Amino acid sequence: MNAEAKNVAVTCTHLIRDIDDYRQSFTDAGFTLVLPDVPGQELAGDELVAAMQGISGVVAGDDQFTSDVMAQLPDLKVISKWGIGLDGIDLPNAAERGITVTNTPGMFGNEVAEQGLGYLFALVRGIVDVDREVRAGGWPKPVGRSIGALTATVLGLGDIGRTLVTKLQALGVTVSGSDPSPEAAEWAAANNVPVGDAAELARDVDVVMITAPLNSATRGMVDADFIDGMRAGSWLINVGRGPIVVGSAVADAIERGHLAGAALDVFEVEPLADERLRHLPNLILGSHNASNTYEACHRTHVKAIENLVTNLTN
């Protein structure tokens, strides 16, 4: 496919923020760059359809490319996903329409794993709660836990999960993992990581950490039954995908003291709309921002643009 006269769009807000550093990459490939207005985190429905009119390729964020949307985009040939998760794209329908879909695995496993560790330290040492109380005039002395004394299970052993496991092991944490893929099982065996059923593993550990992708098997997996099966007084951390965890079940478990606390970087609906979650103690809230470091963003910008150019010019 010739790049000449091809209009391409960027809807990934991270790349839009840094676009002045990358305009030349699109020009050199012979593309005309279009920057739609993205008022929030993503585009969906009629807004996405309107933004993609006459567009041959897009570097996309978490935009919702459903079958209905793609049916109205006859010019679209390539969706270059900035990041890993493809749950917002109807992949079978894209294949039927001849739309090439790519993503950027391996770009920010380290950064998301670091965020998971940050949440772990903050939870088990009460860092956020202490900060709030000191600002209010208090001087609390909560009893925390030593990181090296903890047990944890990591749900999802892709690039992020494997990196997180390695970091946890370096800190002395006893780690298990859950992932159905043969590649994950092979890696786990080579790295002395016991693997098994997620719910069963969660019964016997201090911390459950989620790094899994969103798919039909993981959507809603961490529900009330799953959380009830977790060890009383344990912690839950989600740096995977929001709809994996049922937020109301987390709230219930924290309110009755079954969970000692939780850290949620992602949510079922984003931005966070659940007012109940906003006001719970022992709950740290993120903004789906674990991958957002200078270094990770720029390496991902390069790869996402490269994927777009390669697939629109070949």
Residues designated as active site: 241, 270, 288
In angstroms, how far is the first alpha carbon of the chain from the final one?
A: 5
Is residue 148 within 8 Å of residue 173, measured between CB atoms? yes
Is residue 195 within 8 Å of residue 184, measured between CB atoms? yes
CA dihedral 29, 18, 82, 62 (to 10 degrees): -130
What string of H, E and C letters represents the secondary structure of the chain?
CCCCCEEEEECCHHHHHCHHHCHHHHHHCCEEEECCCCCCCCCCHHHHHHHCCCCCEEEECCCCECHHHHHCCCCCCEEEECCCCCCCECHHHHHHCCCEEECCCCCCHHHHHHHHHHHHHHHHCCHHHHHHHHHCCCCCCCCCCCHHHCEEEEECCCHHHHHHHHHHHHCCCEEEEECCCHHHHHHHHHCCCCECCHHHHHCCCCEEEECCCCCCCCCCCECHHHHHHCCCCEEEEECCCHHHECHHHHHHHHHCCCEEEEEECCCCCCCCCCHHHHCCCCEEECCCCCCCCHHHHHHHHHHHHHHHHHHHHC
> For residue 271, how far is the Cα from the chain centroid?
14
Type of residue at 280: L
